[in-house]
Amino acid sequence: MTFTSGDDPQSIPPPADPFAEAQTEPKSSEDPQEIPNAVAATIESAAEESSQIDLPAHRHGDEEAPLFANVFRPEPKPPVRIPHLGHVALMAIYLMFGLFASVVLLEVAVRIHIFHVSSLQAAVSDIHYTLGSEMIVYLVAFAAAYFTFPLIWHKSFFAGLHWNAATALRHRWALIGTSFLCYVAAIVNIIFVPGPSNTPIEKIFKQPGAAWLLFFFGITVAPFFEELLFRGFLLPALSTAYDWLAERFYKTPRRPFGSDGNPQWSFSAMAIASVVTSVPFAMMHAEQTGNSVDAVLLLGCVSIALCAVRLITRSLAASVLVHAFYNFLIFSMMLLGTEGFKHLDKM
């Protein structure tokens, strides 16, 4: 390097130090410690956005889900209306088991001479064996139904049958009034259309101690189990079957479920189901009344009234209450007419 004559070597600035510039460069306003936090926030935001993207779900391994898998999702199945005819058939099987159990126990009772009965022929006409065998049938069938139907219905046994005891209690006076109207209809039938005398039920009443057993059985056991079978299972099952046939063959809209989760039926379904249910109910008692036509018709009308109570209140407990109080009024009339079942010849 050469200097001219006018230059002073001491006046020439020294060459710039590159390392000095790096050391004197002003610091950034950002704190280096905040950079990792910002990067982490950016990664987290990207992960959230990617999670919101609807990607097809992968199955086992690397196999990809089929194209448009979400488009071909099966429609959810509608809730099952219970009880239906399949449940009625299952309940009938339980009743057959109960009948078998009653026959076995009846045979054992005869062999050990319970109530001094030593033959099956005598047991058939004995009130203790008659009511006892009927009680066994009911209890065996009820026990089987009580523990198995909740597994099928996914709800308790009485909830599936729409028991609704609170509704029955709330309308108890109206239900008792309905029982009294049925009782008045029975009195009118007896006055204007007297039935045959010396019927099987009258013969049973004349057995020693039979009247009080029938009184207790008729206002407790019989109303509960008869309503359970006819108004608890058969009536709603027939109503459901009618509406199902209408929906399938006549393309009527499917009946919606009520706010209580129970099925709603059309008026025609309830009317026809009530009549059909009343036929076996009346025929079941026909033999006791000597197959009297007017007595069977009366029982059919009482059954239709019980069906109406069950359907209007949507409470099986309500029809049980009406049935029990109606039987209580009938037996009370007999109790007063025979002076406490002491003079059964006045029946």
DSSP 273-303: HHHHHHHHHHHHTTGGGTT-HHHHHHHHHHH
Q: Considering its fold, how many domains does the chain have in total? A: 2
pLDDT mean over 277-285: 94
Residue 50 forms part of a structural domain: no
Same domain, 213 and 313: yes
210/310 same-domain check: yes
Closest CA to 333 of 183, 181, 203, 179: 183
**Residue that wins the pLDDT comparison between 50 and 194:** 194
Helices (H), the chain: 18-24, 34-51, 85-111, 120-125, 127-153, 157-160, 165-170, 172-192, 200-205, 210-219, 221-227, 235-249, 267-284, 293-313, 316-337
Q: Which residue has the higher pLDDT, 289 or 300?
A: 300
Query: Taking a C-beta distance cutoff of 8 angstroms, is the pair 266, 243 a contact?
Result: yes
Any domain includes 48? no
Q: Look up the domain containing 91 and give its range.
A: 80-160
Shared domain for 91 and 238, answered yes or no, is: no
Higher pLDDT, 39 or 261: 261
Alpha-carbon torsion (97, 99, 105, 108), positive or negative: negative
17-38: string of b/e by CB count within 10 Å (b at 16+)?
Answer: eeeeeeeeeeeeeeeeeeeeee
Most confident stretch, 16-20, 68-72, 100-104, 287-291: 100-104
pTM for this structure? 0.76
Instruction: Give phi and psi for 318, each to the nearest 5.
Output: -65, -45
Is residue 174's pLDDT more than 80? yes
Is the pLDDT reported for residue 202 higher than 90?
no
Q: Check whether 7 has a pLDDT greater than 60.
A: no
104 and 225 inside one domain: no
pLDDT of residue 2: 46
Mean pLDDT of the chain: 83
Is residue 153 one of the residues assigned to a domain?
yes
Assess whether 175 and 152 both reside in one domain. no
Clarify whether residues 217 and 128 are in a common domain.
no
Same domain, 146 and 169: no
Residues 229 and 263 in one domain: yes
Does 82 have pLDDT greater than 70? yes
